[in-house]
Amino acid sequence: MRVLVPFDARSPKTRLSGVLDDENRNEFARVMLDDVLEVLQRAGHQPHVISTGEVSCECPVRIDEQPLTAAINDRLAAVDPPVGIVMADLALLCVATVERLVETDGDVVIAPGLGGGTNALVVRTPDFRVDYHGTSFRDHRRQADSIDATSTIFDSFRVTLDIDEPDDLVEVLLHNQNRAATWLEQHGFSIGHAGDERTLLRSVE
């Protein structure tokens, strides 16, 4: 299946600015993208990066400077379903989860993000369009209803937990088994062993 992977090549992961400077944020965002692309390919799918700027990688890249919603909807209008849409910061994604996502029934399969966003979609009907503004999870369900398409909620922490904030890096260290966790470890991050479960430590470099 063709899977669109939107990527912000200009100012990725700004909410990590408290723990990573510009250069490191760019590098870490790129490492997560590479992990996502590899997982999708290993699961037998064809990732297509939709990027706001230049990014060199081995799979097809389309530069589109429009906002996310417009860029994705242009692609949905141009290609035949089924189409997957998977965010580039899903560093916890693994092959088994992608397989389960693609095997899930429904004209539209919607994986919520924390707080009501949408982190992954499988779109099997030509009329569905995205709207990533606000609590898009609810809006995407309503939009499916409005075109008489069935929608299914996909239940996965590996998709629901995208990596936006410093606390989320703990999840990468715990659950990513690829480049992203290694990159964090190489940059001094580790999990704290204090009573508090969610403690991110960083060694002074």
By CB under 8 A, name the one of 53, 60, 67, 116 that touches a copy of itself.
116
> Position 179: which residue type?
R
Q: How many CB atoms lie within 10 A of CB 165?
A: 13
CB of residue 49 to a copy of itself, shortest distance in Å: 23
Rounded to a whole number of angstroms, the minimum distance from the CB of residue 86 to a copy of itself is 15
Number of residues near a copy of itself (by CB under 8 A)? 34
45: three-class secondary structure by DSSP: coil
- Which of 44, 53, 60, 134 binds a copy of itself (CB under 8 A)? It is 134
Interface with a copy of itself (CB under 8 A), residue from 23, 80, 193, 205:
193
Residue 97 in contact with a copy of itself, rule: CB under 8 A: yes
115 belongs to the binding site for a copy of itself (CB under 8 A): yes
For 155, other C-beta atoms within 10 Å of its C-beta total 11
SS3 track for 75-135: HHHHCCCCEEEECCCCCCCCHHHHHHHHHCCCCEEEEECCCCCEEEEEECCCCCCCCCCCC
* Binding residue for a copy of itself, selected from 148, 197, 203, 205, defined by CB under 8 A: 197
* CA–centroid distance for 116 within its chain: 14
Q: How far is the CB of 173 from a copy of itself (least distance, A)?
A: 9
CA–CA distances in Å: residue 2 to residues 25, 61, 160, 176, 198: 27, 13, 21, 23, 36
Site string for a copy of itself, 140-179 (x = CB under 8 A): -------------x-xxxxxxx-----x--xx--xx----
